Structure 1
Amino acid sequence: MRRVCLTLPTNRECAATIRAVAEEAAYGARHFGVEVRLLILDSSDPAVLAGHRAVVAALPPVPGVVTHHLDEAEQRGFLREVIAASGVAEPDRVLDLMLPSGVSYGACTNRAFLIAEALGCVSVHRRDSDSRYQSLDGEPVFPFHHELAGLGRRAADLAGQVTRSRLDPACADRPVAMVGGSFVGEMSVDVAEIEQLDPAVYEEVVGLSIPAGYPEIWHRNLIAESFRGAGTTAFTGDRTTLTGVNPMRVDMCNIALDREVYARVPLPPATDTIGSDYFLIHLVHDARLPGILHNRHIVNFHTGERRSESGFLAYHVRLAKYLLAAPHFNAVYADMKEAGGALLDDEGHVRPSAVAGFVRDSTRLDRAENAERLDVVDRSYRKLGGRYATAADVLGARRERLLDEAGQDMAEFARLIDHWEALTRAARSHHSGSAEPGAFHEPVKGIA
């Protein structure tokens, strides 16, 4: 039976989301005859973790669904086993990249990738704790539907089953590597207040995320579209497109990847850096791997923690780190786009060494550009005043460290790519040697 991993990483209270994702898992098992491993990676504090454990224990048993709810200690135990079995150099350093002390959007998903390998899954389907599903006629609209229908299948065989096809015929014999949608509701990045306070400052700050060289009209359009997902239009019916999926059109809360991608290249493990987990979306696009874009968009919302003063400061540090990472990522994306099909070997598999080379090249960028970017953020935030001026003070105190980290994070990413195939092989072997990986050999009670 085809086995897939539906994963929910979280570090916050999200009982309602756990219940909703469990419903999606049941939908997938019921309608597609797959075995769904629902994987909740929980980095919450002890009180919240205990509440989540109670929620998971109360989930009704569903044939074809097995739930794994792992706290950080359990995740660390699994990682230690796999890293030791892989034989990679600097095992403690690799463990830090896989489970850092700070928030890492890429690292939490990398852990899901390795655990999915250990569970024998063929794909990973990711959701976020600060999102929920749309509904139509009183029923939830699950992205799982399109993900399970298309992922891993030969693109040419799907041409008659999608609403439209815009795929290059030269790519038709390749399997679908990614299926994704976007979000509706609140912006993915919490910068709406900046636009309300001063539209000119908003354009200057958000403009730092746009690659250089675009004509002015395109530049302004990209700023207008940034962080807004699919807007606010409610779901009324399915629309699917077989295509090379534009990374601007999908979101990591609504994405599914075939293991042919994530078993070869991980996500950047940078800490406190929003947007760092979008790397594989660009890789799939630039390597000219087929994808399906759908409109079962997930509803995004901002938690109360993000709106608190501490949450605000933490978030704007993550935004600043994203803006400093952008020149490095944009350089890599430009190189990957130019390489195109050369990112694949003769058998159509992604070449990790080519990707690692581009990432290493990006570490040679002159940090003067990023010094100027920090100047723009500092000037803009001080113009806004209030808590933005406080954020400018925080960023100013960390200025040299932030500039250093931008290049160091890419160097660490290249190092992880070098080790990644050994790690995924070790995780897969872990599965082949036993019915369940040792760190979670017992599924959660109440889930069949």
Structure 2
Amino acid sequence: MRRVCLTLPTHRACTGTIAAIGEEAAYGARQFDVEVHLLILDSSPAPVLAEHRRAVAALPPSPGVTVHHLDEDEQRAFLHEVTGRSGGAPPDRLLELMLPSRVSYGACTNRAFLIAQALGCASVHRRDSDSRYQHLDGEPVFPLHQELTYLGRRADDVRESATRSKLPPGTGGRRVTLAGGSFVGEMSVDVAEIRDLDPDTYRELIGLSIPDGYPEIWRGHLIDESFRGAGDTAFDGDRTTLAPVSPMRVDMCNIALDHEVYRRVPLPPATDTIGSDYFLIHLLHDAGMPGVQHNRHIVNFHTAERRTDDGFVAYQLRFVKFLLSKAYLNAVYARTAAAGDALLDAEGHIRASEIAGFVRDSTGLDRASSAHRLDVVVDAYRRLGDRYRTVADILVERRSRLLDEARDDMADFALLMDHWEALTRASAEAVPAGTR
């Protein structure tokens, strides 16, 4: 029987999300006759972890659903076994990249990839703690429905069932490797206040994420589209597009990936950097790999923690690190876009070593681009005033460290890619704890 991994990484209170994703897991097993492994990777502080333990215990048993709730100690034990078995780089170094002491959007998903391999799953389906499901006629609208319908099948075999197809010529024989939707509700990145305070400064900041050389009309369009998801579009019926999926059209809270992708290439393990987990979406799009974009959008909201002073500063620093990282990531994406089909081997799989070379080469870029970005951000935050001035002061204080981290994060990513396939092979022989 087909096994799939529905995963929820979290480091904050989300008992409501745990209950809701439990319903989605039960729905998938019931409607598609699959085994659903619900994997909750929990990095929450002890009081919150205890609440989550109770929420998991309260999930009603459901045929075909197995729940795995792993705290950081249990995750570390699994990773220690895997890194030891892999025989790669110093295990402690790999363990640090897989389970860093700071927040890493890519690393938490990489851990889900390895555990899914250990569980024998064919795909990983990711949700986030700050999201809810839409409803239609009183019933929740689960993205898992479209993910299980399309993922892993030949594009030609599902072409007729999609609402529309925009497959590039000659790609119909490839498997659907990605299925995703977007979100409605609050912006995915907490920059709405900047837009409201000073639209010109907002456009200047968001513009730093867009590659150089885009015509101004396209730059303006991309700035307007960034972080807004599907706006306020309410679900009123299924619509799907079969095509290489643009990273602008899906969100990592609403995504599923086939194992043939994530067992070859991981996500960047960059710490305190939003957007670092979108790498595979860019890669699959540039390689012309078929995907399905659907409209079962998740409802995004911002947790109370983001509204606190400490939460605000932490999130703004993650946003700034994202802008710095784009100096390197955009250089990689330019090469993957130019390579196109050449990113794939004769069997249609991503050439991981080729991608690792692109990433490693990016670390040699002149740091002046990142330094200029940081200067622009500092000036912008000073103009915004109030608590943004506090962030600007922190950026000045940490200037050298931030610039070093933006470059070193890419070197770490290349290192992890060098050892990733050994890690995924070793994970197939390991057994994760925390099963209920």
Identify whether the pair has TM-score above 0.5, normalized to the shorter chain: yes
Matching residue of 1:296: 296
Matching residue of 1:443: 435
Matching residue of 1:233: 233
Deviation, structure 1 residue 361:
1.1
* In the alignment, structure 1 residue 260 sits paired with structure 2 residue 278: no
Alignment of 1:136-215 (within 5 A): 136-215=136-215
User: One-letter code of the match for 2:26?
Assistant: A
* In the alignment, structure 1 residue 344 sits paired with structure 2 residue 336: no
* Deviations 1:297-344, CA, capped at 9 Å, x for gaps: 000000110111000000111011000000111111110111111111
* Deviations 1:210-245, CA, capped at 9 Å, x for gaps: 111111111111111110011111111110010011
Matching residue of 1:122: 122
User: One-letter code of the match for 2:400?
Assistant: E
Q: d(CA) in 1 for partners of 2:90 and 2:84?
A: 10
Q: d(CA) in 2 for partners of 1:218 and 1:283?
A: 21
Q: d(CA) in 2 for partners of 1:217 and 1:403?
A: 30
Q: d(CA) in 2 for partners of 1:115 and 1:259?
A: 12
Q: d(CA) in 2 for partners of 1:15 and 1:288?
A: 38
Q: d(CA) in 1 for partners of 2:353 and 2:277?
A: 19
Deviation, structure 1 residue 429:
2.9
Q: d(CA) in 2 for partners of 1:370 and 1:183?
A: 30
* Deviations 1:39-95, CA, capped at 9 Å, x for gaps: 000000000000100010111100000000000000000000011111112110100
Deviation, structure 1 residue 208:
0.6
Match of 2:18, SS state, is helix
Q: d(CA) in 2 for partners of 1:15 and 1:311?
A: 20
Matching residue of 1:70: 70
Q: d(CA) in 2 for partners of 1:87 and 1:199?
A: 52
Alignment of 1:22-421 (within 5 A): 22-421=22-421
Further displaced range: 105-114 or 194-203: 194-203
Identical residues among aligned pairs (%): 70
Q: d(CA) in 1 for partners of 2:9 and 2:121?
A: 17
Q: d(CA) in 2 for partners of 1:336 and 1:220?
A: 23
Q: d(CA) in 2 for partners of 1:253 and 1:321?
A: 20
Q: d(CA) in 2 for partners of 1:225 and 1:254?
A: 18
Q: d(CA) in 1 for partners of 2:229 and 2:149?
A: 23
Match of 2:271, SS state, is coil
Deviation, structure 1 residue 364:
1.1
Deviation, structure 1 residue 282:
0.7
Q: d(CA) in 2 for partners of 1:338 and 1:443?
A: 44
Match of 2:252, SS state, is coil
Deviation, structure 1 residue 25:
0.3
Match of 2:428, SS state, is helix
User: One-letter code of the match for 1:282?
Assistant: H
Deviation, structure 1 residue 443:
2.5
Q: d(CA) in 2 for partners of 1:349 and 1:429?
A: 23
Deviation, structure 1 residue 266:
0.2
* Deviations 1:169-219, CA, capped at 9 Å, x for gaps: 300000000000000100011011011111111111111111111111111
Q: d(CA) in 1 for partners of 2:330 and 2:371?
A: 17
Q: d(CA) in 2 for partners of 1:376 and 1:204?
A: 8
Q: d(CA) in 1 for partners of 2:378 and 2:147?
A: 42
Q: d(CA) in 1 for partners of 2:429 and 2:258?
A: 18
Matching residue of 1:434: none
User: One-letter code of the match for 1:355?
Assistant: I
Q: d(CA) in 1 for partners of 2:78 and 2:429?
A: 13
* Deviations 1:332-381, CA, capped at 9 Å, x for gaps: 11101111111111111111100000001111111111111111111111
RMSD: 0.7
Deviation, structure 1 residue 24:
0.3
* Deviations 1:106-165, CA, capped at 9 Å, x for gaps: 000000000000000010000000000000000000000000000000000001111111
Q: d(CA) in 2 for partners of 1:89 and 1:100?
A: 16
Match of 1:249, SS state, is coil
Match of 2:184, SS state, is strand
Match of 1:170, SS state, is coil
Q: d(CA) in 1 for partners of 2:190 and 2:52?
A: 26
Q: d(CA) in 1 for partners of 2:58 and 2:235?
A: 30
User: One-letter code of the match for 2:435?
Assistant: P
Deviation above 6 Å: which 4+ runs of structure 1? none
Match of 1:366, SS state, is coil
Q: d(CA) in 2 for partners of 1:429 and 1:47?
A: 33
Q: d(CA) in 1 for partners of 2:168 and 2:341?
A: 12
Deviation, structure 1 residue 247:
1.1
User: One-letter code of the match for 1:352?
Assistant: A
TM-score normalised by structure 1 residue count: 0.97
Q: d(CA) in 2 for partners of 1:291 and 1:113?
A: 19
Q: d(CA) in 1 for partners of 2:142 and 2:27?
A: 8
Matching residue of 1:433: none
User: One-letter code of the match for 1:106?
Assistant: G
TM-score normalised by structure 2 residue count: 0.99
User: One-letter code of the match for 1:443?
Assistant: T
Q: d(CA) in 1 for partners of 2:435 and 2:306?
A: 33
Q: d(CA) in 2 for partners of 1:317 and 1:163?
A: 40
